[in-house]
């Protein structure tokens, strides 16, 4: 876990640097090497790492608009993911998707920029596993803001009534852009939503990666054994703005300070030290993470940009012309014989 | 200069400030007007659509709501049917999908299904458009989708002056109005607008009636019909064409429903050449509709037709691909040239 | 135009956020008044961006906006003159 978390943190810090290049002193969202919105997940690593540790390649994960830490924990190809974020031809989606729309079928990973809309496809992956008698599971990650969305609540119900192997993971970072949790729901503990569907709901306190690991072990185990879905809520921190460029004027200083103070990575490091892991071992892991990330970013930036005409490809896997070519001749298709 | 003359050197506003001024005015005049949406209170709207309103009107009337578009857009429908005048904002028009039923089966149809017994005086505002690499789920305009489904008036301002007058009208209108503002035109610091949308705006209230297209540039040789961001791209193209002696007329539709076919037909009768430019998908959309309406009533006037729109692909992320599919002024220029030379 | 001596400088210093260094670079985003306009004290005449935050700059006095020194996209720091207003 420590490795995935250290990788994800450094990854977000490096992307922040790259993103802000060309956006100073005036912040222009369409300038610089990475254009468009960028939602970074620094402070949320524990949720992704603690859960994905229990997953196999044939398990499916869906993530929301803030996907990098989950993708890293699920083992998405870091180089091709980075190339995608830089809009390059060798990116996961050859530059068509960008940072909110990363797809790596080999790693069982996908994400969506529309709030809570990753939940129904995760239910579908669970449904496929159940129908095929396979023991793979599906995990849907979402923010606490997303738990007021119909797609999430409908998915809980469908997964519960069909006893599907799905785990829903709410990453509660207290904020949905500028809206604090208490303004948009009267239920501070999001895992209580589970009660309405008669499934287990578990909440994990701030920044405790080990506790996430334990809770997820049970939830994933339950799903894999065919005993149905679980809802987990993990309290995390948003250490950066909602998106890069967010002035965060709405956010109290104390809240920013609290996010900076509490650090799940440091906490895990402390836990590991107390178990006898040496400092230089941890530093070696961090160093390796930095090297891997730097290498991915350097590689991505060397990749060519896509050809403009590539925009016309991939709308269908069977392009309309292909379909027409196979259409049977009218006379032959006639029902005379 | 006299004091009065100095004051008349007009104040200019960005499109977002002009919209907000109209909303604030209507809220002062009418207690029944309120604004609901995600991040519209403290944030002031991600695209500045409600900047400063919380301070004046408080949380009861500038309401942050949960990320539950079906519930709050539907609640706007219900409150409107009770006689209030809600304004409900979809942060990006692309999110309409999660609340589509409330929009097109309830908001848009209740008047008709009730035989006129019920009306729905609400405004649905939404940010539209691309050009900043936000990819397929955050860059659409969907103009044609809303205009296609009966029962909604559809407004698309391109300048601050129009934005204010159209907003006054939208709030006062007794029917549901979908008010689509282009992010690139709002005048936000972090998404610089082209020259053009920032215009002089009178401090007093005024309305711009729906169904009155505006000729943004007069010309004799070709008619360019467009809306939103592409009004400015068409004007830029027209300037370039003028250097080669091609005199393009640029018509800003301002509203899609109702559609001002008269202004278009008059222009085509004069120029004989029609170029329709749209930032929505090409098929089954605005371009086809405009061309069909001219063909139906003025086929004899038509010597050449061109359309420039997003080819039928979702909006790609990477710059070279997005630039390829979103029409720019050069695309418009060459379409006008083809129509002119036809 | 009034004599240049009594012109009042418009600067961002009055609205500069406390937690931003004086020599941080801001950028002019929008002008809402043109030269020659009579502005009222307190009327927003331009908008600047500092560290991603947009800030409105008000006219310091009532009078005529006689000169814009920093147009849109120009950079400035805390004490730089954005424009001059001739009071009256
Ligand atoms: C259906 C829908 N509505 C609104 C948005 C705009 N939006 C993007 S992120 C976000 C906040 C999400 O908050 P949360 O789920 O808590 O996740 P976080 O951003 O805090 O990670 C909103 C409202 C969207 N993408 N999709």
Buried b (16+ CB within 10 A) or exposed e, A55-74: beeebbbbbbbbbbbbbbbb
The answer to whether the Cβ–Cβ distance between B12 and C31 falls below 8 Å is: yes
**Whole-prediction pTM:** 0.95
Mutate which of B59, B65, B135, B318 to test chain A, going by most A C-beta atoms within 10 A? B318
Query: Residue for token digits 């300048």?
Result: B159
Q: In what order do the strands lie in the sheet with C8-11?
A: C8-11, C81-87, C63-68, C38-39
CA atoms within 13 Å, Cβ hemisphere of A30: 20
Cα dihedral value A313, A315, A318, A319, nearest 10 = -60
Contacts of C23 in chain A (CB under 8 A): none
Alpha helices (H) in A38-142, listed in sequence order: 45-52, 68-74, 78-85, 119-131
Q: Is the pLDDT of residue C64 over 80?
A: yes
- pLDDT tens-digit series, residues A126-182: 999 999 999 999 999 999 999 999 999 999 999 999 999 999 999 999 999 999 999
Residue A175 in contact with ligand 1 by CB distance below 6 A: yes
Count, in order, helices (H) and strands (E) of chain C.
0, 8
**Residue A85 near residue A73 (C-beta atoms within 8 A):** no
Query: What is the distance between the alpha carbons of residues C12 and C49, in angstroms, rounded to a whole number?
Result: 11
User: Among A69, A15, A70, A61, which Cα is nearest to A38's?
Assistant: A15
Chain B, window 268-297: residues with a beta carbon less than 8 angstroms from a chain C beta carbon: none
Token pair in block for residue A134: 């396979």
Cβ atoms B191, A30 nearer than 8 A: yes
CB of A188 sitting under 6 A from ligand 1: no
CB pairs under 8 A between A and B: 139
Residue B60 CA, ligand 1 centroid: distance in Å: 22
Interchain proximity B7–C38, CB inside 8 Å: yes
Domain definitions of chain A by residue range: 2-333
Check CB contact under 8 Å for C49 and A246. Answer: no
d(CA A156, CA A167): 9
CATH code of the domain made up of A2-333: 3.40.50.970
3-state secondary structure A166-204: EEEEEEECCEECCEEHHHHCCCCCHHHHHHHHCCCEEEE
The residues spanned by each domain of chain C are 4-87
Taking only the tens of pLDDT, chain B with its 342 residues reads: 666 676 667 899 999 999 999 999 999 999 999 999 999 999 999 999 999 999 999 999 999 999 999 999 999 999 999 999 999 999 999 999 999 999 999 999 999 999 999 999 999 999 999 999 999 999 999 999 999 999 999 999 999 999 999 999 999 999 999 999 999 999 999 999 999 999 999 999 999 999 999 999 999 999 999 999 999 999 999 999 999 999 999 999 999 999 999 999 999 999 999 999 999 999 999 999 999 999 999 999 999 999 999 999 999 999 999 999 999 999 999 999 999 998
Q: Which of A138, A11, A145, A140 is nearest to A63 (CA)?
A: A140
Q: For residues B342 and B273, is the Cβ–Cβ distance under 8 A? A: yes
Contacts of A209 (CB under 8 A, 6+ apart): A1, A5, A45, A46, A49, A50, A264, A267, A268, A271
Secondary structure of chain A: what % helix, strand, coil (to 5)?
50, 10, 40
- CA dist., res. B103 & res. B82, Å (int): 17
Chain B touched by C12 (CB under 8 Å): no
CA-based nearest residue to A126, from A224, A262, A211, A55: A224
Is residue B162 within a helix (H) or strand (E), and if so which, with residue range? helix B160-172
pLDDT classification of A335: cutoffs 50, 70, 90: very low
> How many other CB atoms sit within 10 Å of the CB of residue B42?
17
A61 forms bridges with which residues in the sheet?
Answer: A109, A139
**Sign, CA torsion B266/B271/B277/B281:** positive
Coil, strand or helix at B88: strand
- Structural tokens at position A70: 């989950």
CATH number of B10-200: 3.40.50.970
Rounded-to-integer distance, Cα A233 and Cα A182, Å: 16
Instruction: Please check whether residue B60 touches A, CB under 8 A.
Output: no
With contact defined as beta carbons under 8 Å apart, do B137 and A101 qualify?
A: yes
3 state SS of B222 = strand
Our CA dihedral for A42, A43, A47, A48, rounded to 10 degrees, sits at 20
**Rg of chain A on CA atoms, in Å:** 21
Q: How far is Cα of residue A109 from the mean position of the Cα atoms in its chain?
A: 8
> Same CATH fold, B214-341 and B10-200?
yes
Which residues of A fall within a CB distance of 8 Å from C24? 25
Test B66 with A184 for CB contact under 8 angstroms: yes
Contact predicate A43/A235, CB 8 Å: no
Interface mutation vs chain A, best among C15, C28, C52, most A CBs within 10 Å:
C52
Mean pLDDT value across residues C43-67: 94
| Architecture per CATH, C4-87 | Beta Barrel (2.40)
| Average pLDDT, rounded, for chain A | 94
Q: Is residue B157 within 8 Å of residue B163, measured between CB atoms?
A: yes
Tokens (6 digits) for B239:
């300037």
Tokens matching residue B82: 């009770």
Under 8 Å between Cβ of A209 and A46: yes
Joined tokens for residue B135: 């990819």
Beta B153-155 vs B177-182: how paired, if at all?
parallel
- Pull the structure tokens for residue A156: 């809980």
- Determine the Cα–Cα distance for residues A245 and A19; give it in Å rounded to an integer: 10
| Ligand 1 pocket: which of B43, B89, B91, B99 to mutate (most atoms within 8 A of CB) | B91
- What interface predicted TM-score (ipTM) does this complex get? 0.95
- Check CB contact under 8 Å for B11 and C30: no
Considering just the CA atoms, what is the radius of gyration of chain C in Å? 12
Residue among B67, B70, B100 to mutate when testing ligand 1 (max atoms within 8 A of CB): B67
Is the confidence at residue A337, as pLDDT, over 50? no
Q: Is B316 on the interface with A (CB under 8 A)?
A: yes
Q: What is the pLDDT of residues C73-82, one digit of tens each?
A: 999 999 999 9
Q: Which fold has domain B214-341?
A: Rossmann fold (3.40.50)
Q: Does B314 touch chain A (CB under 8 A)?
A: yes
């Amino acid at each position: 876990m420590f490795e995935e978390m250290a990788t994800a943190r450094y990854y977000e810090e490096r992307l922040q640097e790259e993103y802000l290049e060309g956006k100073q002193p005036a912040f222009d969202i369409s300038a610089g090497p990475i254009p468009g919105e960028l939602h970074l997940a620094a402070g949320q690593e524990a949720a992704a790492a603690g859960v994905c540790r229990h997953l196999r390649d044939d398990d499916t994960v869906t993530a929301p608009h803030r996907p990098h830490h989950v993708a890293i924990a699920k083992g998405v190809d870091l180089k091709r993911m980075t190339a995608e974020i830089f809009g390059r031809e060798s990116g996961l989606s050859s530059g068509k998707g960008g940072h909110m729309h990363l797809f790596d079928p080999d790693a069982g990973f996908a994400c969506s920029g529309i709030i809570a809309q990753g939940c129904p496809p995760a239910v579908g992956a669970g449904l496929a596993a159940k129908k095929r008698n396979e023991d793979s599971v599906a995990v849907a990650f979402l923010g606490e803001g997303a738990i007021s969305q119909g797609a999430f609540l409908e998915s809980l119900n469908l997964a519960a009534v069909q006893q599907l192997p799905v785990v829903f993971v709410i990453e509660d970072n207290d904020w949905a852009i500028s809206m604090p949790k208490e303004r948009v729901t009267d239920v501070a503990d999001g895992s209580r939503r589970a009660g309405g569907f008669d499934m287990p709901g578990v909440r994990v306190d701030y920044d405790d990666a080990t506790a996430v690991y334990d809770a997820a072990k049970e939830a994933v185990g339950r799903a894999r054994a065919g005993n149905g879905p679980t809802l987990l809520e993990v309290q995390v921190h948003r250490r950066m703005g909602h998106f890069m460029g967010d002035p965060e004027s709405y956010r109290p200083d104390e809240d920013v300070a609290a996010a900076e103070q509490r650090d799940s990575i440091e906490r895990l490091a402390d836990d590991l030290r107390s178990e006898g892991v040496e400092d230089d071992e941890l530093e070696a892991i961090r160093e390796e993470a930095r090297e891997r990330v730097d290498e991915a970013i350097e590689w991505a930036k060397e990749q060519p940009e896509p050809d403009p005409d590539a925009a016309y490809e991939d709308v269908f896997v069977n392009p309309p012309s292909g379909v027409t070519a196979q259409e049977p001749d009218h006379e032959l298709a006639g029902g005379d014989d | 200069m006299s004091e009065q003359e100095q004051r008349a050197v007009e104040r200019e506003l960005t499109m977002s400030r002009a919209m907000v001024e109209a909303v604030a005015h209507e809220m002062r005049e009418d207690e029944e007007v309120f604004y609901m949406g995600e991040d519209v209170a403290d944030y002031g709207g991600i695209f500045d659509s409600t900047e400063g309103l919380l301070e004046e009107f408080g949380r009861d009337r500038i309401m942050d709501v949960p990320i539950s578009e079906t519930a709050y857009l539907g609640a706007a429908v219900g409150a409107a049917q009770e006689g209030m005048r809600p304004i409900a904002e979809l942060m990006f028009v692309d999110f309409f999908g999660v609340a589509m039923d409330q929009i097109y089966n309830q908001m848009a149809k209740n008047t008709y299904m009730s035989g006129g017994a019920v009306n729905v005086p609400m405004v649905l505002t939404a940010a539209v458009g691309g050009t900043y690499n936000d990819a397929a789920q955050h860059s659409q305009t969907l103009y044609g989708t809303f205009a296609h489904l009966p029962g909604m008036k559809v407004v698309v301002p391109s300048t601050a002056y129009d934005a204010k007058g159209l907003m006054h009208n939208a709030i006062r209108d007794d029917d549901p109005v979908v008010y689509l503002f282009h992010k690139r035109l709002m005048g936000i610091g972090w998404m610089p607008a082209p020259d053009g949308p920032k215009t002089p705006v009178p401090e007093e209230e005024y309305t711009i009636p729906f169904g009155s297209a505006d000729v943004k540039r007069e010309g004799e040789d070709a008619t360019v019909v467009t809306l939103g961001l592409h009004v400015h791209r068409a004007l830029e193209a027209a300037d370039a064409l003028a250097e080669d002696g091609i005199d393009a007329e640029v018509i800003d539709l301002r509203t899609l429903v109702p559609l001002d076919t008269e202004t278009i037909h008059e222009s085509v009768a004069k120029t004989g050449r029609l170029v329709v430019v749209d930032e929505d998908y090409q098929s089954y959309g605005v371009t086809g509709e405009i061309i069909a309406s001219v063909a139906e009533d003025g086929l004899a006037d038509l010597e050449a037709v061109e359309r420039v729109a997003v080819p039928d692909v979702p909006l790609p992320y990477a710059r070279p691909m997005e630039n390829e599919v979103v029409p720019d002024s050069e695309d418009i220029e060459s379409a006008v040239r083809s129509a002119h030379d036809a | 135009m009034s004599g240049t001596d009594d012109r009042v400088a418009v600067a961002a210093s009055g609205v500069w956020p406390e937690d931003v260094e004086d020599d941080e670079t801001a950028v002019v985003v929008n002008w809402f008044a043109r030269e020659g306009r009579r502005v009222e004290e307190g009327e927003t005449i331009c908008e600047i961006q500092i560290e991603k935050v947009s800030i409105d700059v008000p006219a310091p006095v009532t009078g005529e906006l006689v000169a814009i020194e920093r147009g849109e996209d120009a950079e400035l720091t805390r004490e730089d003159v954005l424009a001059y207003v001739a009071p009256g």
